[in-house]
Amino acid sequence: MKTIDELVADGVSGKRVFVRADLNVPLDGQTITDDGRIRAAVPTIRKLAESGARVVVASHLGRPKGAPDPQFSLAPVADRLGELLGTSVPFATDTVGDSAKATVGALADGEVTLLENLRFNAGETSKDDAERGAFADELAGLADAYVGDGFGAVHRKHASVYDLPARLPHAAGYLIATEVGVLKKLTEDVERPYAVVLGGAKVSDKLGVIDHLMQKADRLLIGGGMAYTFLKAQGYAVGDSLVQEDQLSTVKGYLQRAEELGVEFVLPVDVLATSEFPDLKAKAPTEPQTVPAGEIPDGLMGLDIGPESRRLYASKLADAATVFWNGPMGVFEHPDFAEGTRAVAQALLDSPAFTVVGGGDSAAAVRQLGFDEAKFGHISTGGGASLEYLEGKTLPGLAALEDAPA
């Protein structure tokens, strides 16, 4: 995989360099509520600009239906990117149309522009190779070289991620190089004990990574909504908690396999439960009850791990040498159910381990709960991409940069 430094060494001054970033940030109207992904893209963009390139940045945002949709416009991102770079970032109001061509054509050496949302064009996400390729051809007309740096999208076989690199000289940006280097530490020559913390709502979202990491990890700590499927699979009462009934037999098999492999499987011993799911916008106080994890009464649902579970999980992370965490322990968006997630984050900080926060809601929780990101070993920008890499899957965007078949 060619690096951005090698591309720069070959000479980029005066050349149009297309940077596929991941600027898929959360918006509240026109307000960016978490700019972590924009900040993560800055080092690559700045390096190219300082080397005299004419930098054409592109990204997706949200899930528009292949046509322009104002609520998914990247216009606010252009403003924030400019603030972080300390310069104006002209914004093209389309992807490959007149505005994009004019804006890119007006760039001087060292300047940066941002194109409108790539997913406003149906060709970006099309499953038809010809349609996707045609859009990639149009994008290639805007550039002389390509830098892949949108790690959060490399598991997608999309035009700007998979097809475009084949049409231009290409290299990996700093973010992708960092992410891949970190993930290799979690899959090759891992320092032990190796603990994996998995949370989130649905166990089905994590089956692949559980299956793969069971062969590598020493401990698996399970929290979040997915924990209740594991608890019910063991015959415990989980009340009205979230359970994926269709996964119970699969989960039983995983528990048995973990025992055979000598992998420690850690589940909550107590939870915070309530009768109604809270209003996450109003954040009105609730009256959660602490109950044993295997004795949740009917009418109550578990929404966070309890105080004993927090202490248990912290003890299981205290002596770890490597920790990967993906998924919150509860409904961290509400202050009454944030303490489990906070406890895991604090345990990672207190541990001497190499700690990796696997993107998505986990990364958002770290920032929302006020932790210093720099104190973690690494916070990934791509939850889904990280998980698929750890499952052992070939990621199309990385295969394209390596000139390998996906």
Q: Is 253 annotated as a binding residue?
A: no
Check if 173 is active-site.
Answer: no
Q: According to the annotation, is 206 in a ligand binding site? A: yes
Q: Which one of 101, 167, 185, 202 is the catalytic residue? A: 202
Q: How far is CA 46 from CA 8, 19, 49, 79, 242, in A?
A: 12, 11, 5, 16, 45
Query: According to the annotation, is 24 in a ligand binding site?
Result: yes
User: Binding site annotation covers 62?
Assistant: yes
Tokens of residue 251, six digits:
């989960």
22 annotated binding-site participant:
yes
Does the annotation flag 60 for ligand binding?
Answer: yes
Q: Is 181 annotated as a binding residue?
A: no
Any binding-site annotation on 367?
Answer: no
Residue from 150, 382, 383, 384 carrying the catalytic annotation: 384
* CA-CA-CA-CA dihedral for 215, 221, 226, 230, to nearest 10: 80
Would the annotation count 74 as a binding residue? no
Catalytic pick among 152, 360, 383, 397: 360
Q: Binding site annotation covers 359?
A: yes
User: Any catalytic annotation for residue 384?
Assistant: yes
Q: Distance between CA atoms of 392 and 184, rounded to whole angstroms?
A: 11
Q: Which of 37, 47, 316, 342 is catalytic?
A: 37
Is 155 one of the annotated binding-site residues? no
Rounded to whole angstroms, the maximal C-alpha distance in the chain is 68
3-state secondary structure the chain: CCEHHHHHHHCCCCCEEEEECCCCCCEECCEECCCHHHHHHHHHHHHHHHCCCEEEEECCCCCCCCCCCHHHCCHHHHHHHHHHHCCCCCECCCCCCHHHHHHHHCCCCCCEEECCCHHHCHHHCCCCHHHHHHHHHHHHCCCCEEEECCHHHCCCCCHHHHHHHHHCCEEECHHHHHHHHHHHHHHCCCCCCEEEEECCCCHHHCHHHHHHHCCCCCEEEECCCCHHHHHHHCCCEECCCCCCHHHHHHHHHHHHHHHHHCCEEECCCEEEEECCCCCCCCCCCCCCEEEECCEECCCCEEEEECHHHHHHHHHHHCCCCEEEEECCCCCCCCHHHCHHHHHHHHHHHHCCCEEEECCHHHHHHHHHCCCCHHHCCEECCCHHHHHHHHCCCCCHHHHHHCCCCC
211 is in an annotated binding site: no
Alpha-carbon separation of residue 133 from 16, 128, 140, 158, 161 (angstroms): 20, 8, 10, 9, 11
Is 63 annotated in some ligand binding site? yes
Q: Point out the annotated binding site for ATP.
A: 206, 302, 333, 359-362
Q: Point out the annotated binding site.
A: 22-24, 37, 60-63, 119, 156, 206, 302, 333, 359-362
Q: Point out the annotated binding site for substrate.
A: 22-24, 37, 60-63, 119, 156
Q: Point out the annotated binding site for (2R)-3-phosphoglycerate.
A: 37, 119, 156
Active-site residue list: 37, 202, 360, 384
